[in-house]
Structure 1
């Protein structure tokens, strides 16, 4: 309980300091001036004060009331946050650098929480996940419905429609939409919420109805219907298979 409490408190503090207490002017200043940006130091200071308050409160409530631990943990968070943000400022500002930035911060927070609580709760939880066949089947299911399913559906559509493709759409938009809808569908199936699955399919049909009814190209209508039905079929097959294997 102590580990979970400290971990979630530090994560909340990180989210507040990174997304709610950091104006865009600070972000722009960091991305423009990098390590010379004064606003970067303000941002790191906000993180330091927030983390110090959380760690102090936890240390004097559940810990060993050691001020040195508070100082060292806060210093690690502040220094690591500074260098991680500096590295991000030199990136292309895309989604991948953003994800790596946040993952790096969370890893530091997890490590600090493990060290301060001095227990094996996190390690035991990870080992329990890695040795739990049900959890591994679920992970495998999500991995299957992402890129492997996208490749399979694209190959099937190319074979059936003779390499027909719709012009005027955003690059990779169809593939991204398909991945997102399969993730949602698989989640509904694993939760035995088939009503949500029906709602998702109906909602997509409503959104696409205008485009298809306005289109004079019968091939486009057939292409979209085939893609949707293939996506649903693959996800149903994977989801029902996983439910059978873990039941």
Structure 2
């Protein structure tokens, strides 16, 4: 089980490359009708992923990792942009394809082989927790947004209300707090957080003239809480398995 840390690092590298370091412009260029822009964006994005995988895994003599990650990322994203799938189905299929490559690569190269532990500075549990915190930020926000848009649950005037990006940061903070409560054994804090958010949202929902706005807020809140809680308890269980 000692090589499980490599799998966790590969997942962390993917999350950082696909969500934190991928700008809106780069994402838009990947779907551009201009082939030069599209292939340049795909190449840059693939190189970023290859570099991150190489740095995170820190097996300096193993070039299979950056080559496979970079090449597969280019090809998978090329297929996605060819079909121009920006919806929930495209997002899920794209992510599943990347994770399948990561798991197969890990199984072939690391799972049953020795690896150089000289670069192992931080524990597997640290990487597991760090990766989970990364996952509940932008990746979860993109998933929730894609889910709501796919189901056509977004009110027509929802974008006109509130501060710019405030909803995104509220989501970030609430999911970070949920994970922190779970990891520190203060589960009651999750209930307190939900109650507090309900109190603050009550006035807004009470004044809402359209029931769609109320349902939109509730769906977003419960989806956010559900993902964070499931990830928190899932990772808490994984840490008990002791990957060291």
What TM-score does the superposition give when structure 1 sets the normalisation length?
A: 0.46
More helix by share: 1
Determine which structure has greater relative contact order: mean sequence separation of CA pairs < 8 Å that are 6+ residues apart, divided by chain length: 2
Q: Please say which structure displays the higher CA radius of gyration.
A: 1
What TM-score does the superposition give when structure 2 sets the normalisation length?
A: 0.47
